Amino acid sequence: MAVTAALVKELREKSGAGMMDCKKALTETGGDLDAAVDWLRTKGLAAAAKKSGRVAAEGLVGTAVDGTKGAVMEVNSETDFVARNDTFQDFVATVTTLALATGEDIEALKGVAYPETGRTVEEQLTHNIATIGENMSLRRARVLSVGDGVVVPYVHNAVKPGLGKIGVLVAIESTGDKDKLTELGKQIAMHVAAAAPQSLSTDDLDPAAIERERSVLVEQARDSGKPEEIIEKMVEGRLRKFYQEVVLLEQTFVVDGETRIAKVVENAGKDLGAPVKLAGFCRVQLGEGIEREESDFAAEVAATLAS
């Protein structure tokens, strides 16, 4: 595969590595983006395979809870100016509430009746686009529920209650005091917003992600020249550290900076006198995974590739 300016740009944004290092990594791996990220990491040139925060999408993330069920919804617009529009904000709040009953299927949500208009959600969206004069889209919805317990929402950078840039839901199962469970859920939701875990437990973590991390760690350890038996111990130790970075129950609670989330939940059960289980979470960040076009930077990359 040819090493293009766009590929170099994408790798640089995912890895944080320098432009020439990205070009070399792509050349070494035949243009395979994921392999190039791993190549950079084995050389100590990239700390993690994370995208940069530069995203094209604006809009809002909404949260809504009804009893033991909660929804979080991302609706995109072209500009932040429209995200501050009352009509757009009301639309996001309404479709988030509708998602509570409809679920995560966006196409199904589009066909639901939009309250007091005689239109469907999709027709209302089209109406808003025509009225406001800017393109908008329903991007994604997540829904969580529990049998007995609480689903607690949290919005970071809220522009008004339930609407902001990052939306989080935390589901806790317990027969304990619901007010205390809600307070616990709010603290854990704030932690999720800040720490951005990838999974609830190590069992939930994508096996492919684990194997990929392991292969990178093995290569890094072998570069140290240590014997194979020592390398295996080094890798297992570093994998545990990896889990502590990306698995919610293994992470250190940001509120006190020392207690594992699993222990926080265990302690809550003792305090409440009833078992407490962290049943699930979801975190939706506005524009996550959508890259902004950077024309000046692309020209810079193209000039470098041509040299």
Does 292 have pLDDT greater than 70? no
User: For residue 268, what pLDDT is reported?
Assistant: 96
User: For residue 51, what pLDDT is reported?
Assistant: 32
- Residue 247 vs residue 9, higher pLDDT: 247
User: For residue 264, what pLDDT is reported?
Assistant: 97
**Architecture in CATH of 58-199+258-285:** 2-Layer Sandwich (3.30)
- Does the pTM surpass 0.75? The reply is no
Query: For the domain 1-54+291-307, what is the CATH code?
Result: 1.10.8.10
- Residue 125 vs residue 290, higher pLDDT: 125
CB burial of 272-284 (b: ≥16 within 10 Å; e: otherwise) equals beeebebbbbbbb
Amino acid identity of 290? I
User: For residue 47, what pLDDT is reported?
Assistant: 42
How far is 53 from 291, CA to CA, in rounded Å?
9
User: For residue 46, what pLDDT is reported?
Assistant: 59
- What does pLDDT average to over the chain? 86
Mean pLDDT for the stretch of residues 80-92: 92
How far is 248 from 268, CA to CA, in rounded Å?
16
| 3-class secondary-structure state, position 244 | helix
* Structural domain spans, the chain: 1-54+291-307, 58-199+258-285
Count of CA atoms in the C-beta half-sphere (13 A) of 134: 17
- Concatenating the DSSP letter of every residue in 56-112 gives --EEEEEEEEETTEEEEEEEEES-HHHHT-HHHHHHHHHHHHHHHHH-S-HHHHHTS
